[in-house]
Chain A
Amino acid sequence: MESGIRVFLLTAVLVALSGCATVRGWFHHGSKPAAASSPTAVTGAEEEQNAPPRVVEPEVARRQIKVPRIRSSNFELGLNYGVLSIEDFGSHASYGVTAAYHITEDFFFQAEAGRSKAGRTSFETLSGNIQLLTEAERRFTYYDLSLGYNFLPGEAFLGRGIAMTNAFYLLGGIGGTDFAGDTKFTVNFGAGYRVVPSDWMAVHVTVQDRIFQTSLLGYTKLTNNLEARIGVTVFF
């Protein structure tokens, strides 16, 4: 332990020294050396002196063009509602929120959080009065971060007049699940379908599996918790 602290302090000193040595100027991002611009300034001034005096001063007002900023619309926020099948505990309604950031036309990041409630296992139903979990422990809360990939882009048509762009997407990510009085590391993967009726909103249908390890029933096993949900999102 003693040697550990010594190594730590020594590394601290080393990093600090190398850090300070390489500091070329605090708070000067991409600053250009001033010397480079001065020779051209001098030649400019000389030309001005050698030029013949102007008889008429031109009165040309250069048209200034204001460049409006282009608004970006890469974020997508939404609410969803669906069914979550909790392994051994039945299927129940789930509701959640998603927030996505579209990086390119192909990839996006998505953060998800949602909640559902577990039912009774068949053992609890058959045995009568035995309760494996308390009411609070039956609450199933998930939150995770996923990477999405859009594929099969296309258009969906409603009658003759309405065309909406759409795409399928794959999701995969990691996160946590609060269930049965414990928080479990959770891996998720899934797929979804997105229809975009207007520029600012989209409708999603998503199926996602959340997999985590549990030893709730006496032995350790991986549980698959499938969720099917429908959601509405807003782009901004």
Chain B
Amino acid sequence: MITRAPRLALAAFLLLASLCAPATSGAREYLQLFVTRPYLELHTGPGRGYPVFHVVPRDDSVDVLFRRTDWFKVRTVRGVEGWASLNDMQHTVLADGSPFHFELGDRTGFTSHRYEGGLFAGAYGGASLVSGFASVSFNSQLALEGALGAYYGRYSNGYTGDIGLAHVIAPEARWSPFLTLGVGEVRTNPKATLVRPADRTEPTAYVGGGIRYYLTRRFFLRAEYKAHWIFTNRNQNEEADEWKAGFAFFF
């Protein structure tokens, strides 16, 4: 206990120091960009609805402080700070004259990428399901993916966890179907008023398929079906259908 307190204090101090560090270190180096169009418009906020309050003339430079969604907070040489849109920033150049390019994701990225993640709403064995997934791709067609979900039913609540392989049949297509196969576990908490049955965790296996639809940038929609087999230690195994659809992204 005696040795713990100073260590805790040190940890708290380090955390505080790391939080304050970006604010106190003024020597941070920013990206400098030069305006090539007649002018660069600066808005008061990061959105098309916020008014333009300043323009930076051609050949003047701006420092890029940070980015929020499609907007860059920039500072002019005179110290005026404002928000410039990504579309306008695409027409600026670096100090060596090469055009500024910012990667936002495209169809090529949708075809071949390393990681995926997403959130779903759906149904699991007749119960309402909220679920999320993450996957790592070996190549454009084969990926290892894991999913976690919570379901809320009339007779039971519970959690599901799956891990398996996904095979994308046509990765270059905008509507891109895939097949999945894997194993998992399901935790069931039955609801009962008189006799309270014990919570149980059982192994499962699933096979399924679905479709992905590329939206824009790094985003796509994903809908899928999984047929689960639940291996119980009772006389009969159980089956559960899982339907879900949601929003996903890749990077």
Contacts and interface: CB of A to CB of B under 8 A. Distances in A.
Interface of A: 1, 4-5, 8, 11-12, 15-16, 18-19, 22-30, 63, 65-74, 102-106, 109, 145, 147, 150, 152-155, 163, 165, 167, 174-176, 182-185, 196, 199, 235
- Shortest 3 CB-CB contacts between residues of A and residues of B: A185-B152, A165-B45, A153-B49
Contact of B112 (A30, A63, A167, A182): A30
A19 B130 contact: no
Interface residues of B, number: 60
B157 A183 contact: yes
A106 B239 CA distance: 41
B110 interface: no
Output the residue of B48, B67, B130 with the most chain A CB within 10 A: B130
Contact of A72 (B67, B179, B219, B227): B67
Nearest to A69: B31
Contacts of B207: 8, 11-12, 15
Contacts of A18: 167, 169, 179
Contact of A153 (B45, B73, B227): B45
B128 interface: yes
7 contacts: A18-B169, A24-B141, A29-B113, A70-B31, A105-B46, A105-B70, A165-B46
Nearest to A108: B69
Contacts of B239: 4
Contacts of B31: 67-70
Contacts, number: 138
B71 interface: yes
A18 B169 CA distance: 9
A68 B68 contact: no
Contact of B130 (A105, A175, A235): A175
Contact of B68 (A27, A102, A109): A102
Given A18-B167, A27-B139, A185 B68 contact: no
Given A153-B45, A176-B152, A183-B157, A74 B181 contact: no
A73 B68 CA distance: 5
A27 B112 CA distance: 11
Interface in B128-175: 128, 130, 137-142, 150, 152, 157, 165, 167, 169
Contacts of A28: 139
B205 interface: yes
Interface in B40-62: 44-51
Contact of A19 (B95, B142, B189, B191): B142
B44 A155 contact: yes
Interface in B14-43: 29-31
Contact of B119 (A65, A145, A153, A184): A145
Interface string B89-128: 0000011100000100000100011100001010000011
A196 B167 contact: no
B3 interface: no
Contacts of B169: 18
A29 B165 contact: no
Contacts of B51: 155
B130 A165 contact: no
Given A29-B112, A155-B44, A155-B50, A71 B237 contact: no
A19 B207 CA distance: 14
A215 B71 CA distance: 48
Contacts of B157: 182-183
A165 B137 CA distance: 41
Contacts of B128: 174, 185
